[in-house]
Amino acid sequence: MTSSVARMSAIVLKKRVVGYGNRVEGSTDIGQKLDYLSKQISAVGGIALVACSLSGEGLLSKGAIFTSLFSSNEPEFDDLDALFEDLC
């Protein structure tokens, strides 16, 4: 990922994080607040993925980053230890 694409992605994601934060503060419904917080956390995760792609050897591809940014349905792992053992 080039640095200009990463900067543009980070700016877009930062705007999302701020926007969802404003929606959380403006909402009175608890369920809606939680939905906005979930989306905000996903955007923060996207910023972390962009940072990972630029650090070190840049192991993440643009496609993997953008796919993860726009998909909100990730599989849940009950046993994270087993998941990490499989990866290592």
What per-residue confidence (pLDDT) applies to 33?
94
pLDDT tens for the chain, residues 1 to 88: 567 777 788 888 889 999 999 999 999 999 999 999 999 998 888 888 887 777 655 555 555 555 665 565 555 555 555 545 554 4
What per-residue confidence (pLDDT) applies to 3?
72
What per-residue confidence (pLDDT) applies to 82?
57
Rounded to two decimals, the pTM is: 0.61
Tokens 């956390």 — which residue? 41
Rounded to 10 degrees, what is the CA torsion of 44, 45, 49, 51?
30
Judge residue 46's burial from the number of C-beta atoms within 10 Å of its C-beta, 0-12 exposed, 13-18 middle, 19 or more buried.
buried
Domain coordinates in residue numbering, the chain? 3-87
What per-residue confidence (pLDDT) applies to 45?
87
What per-residue confidence (pLDDT) applies to 12?
87
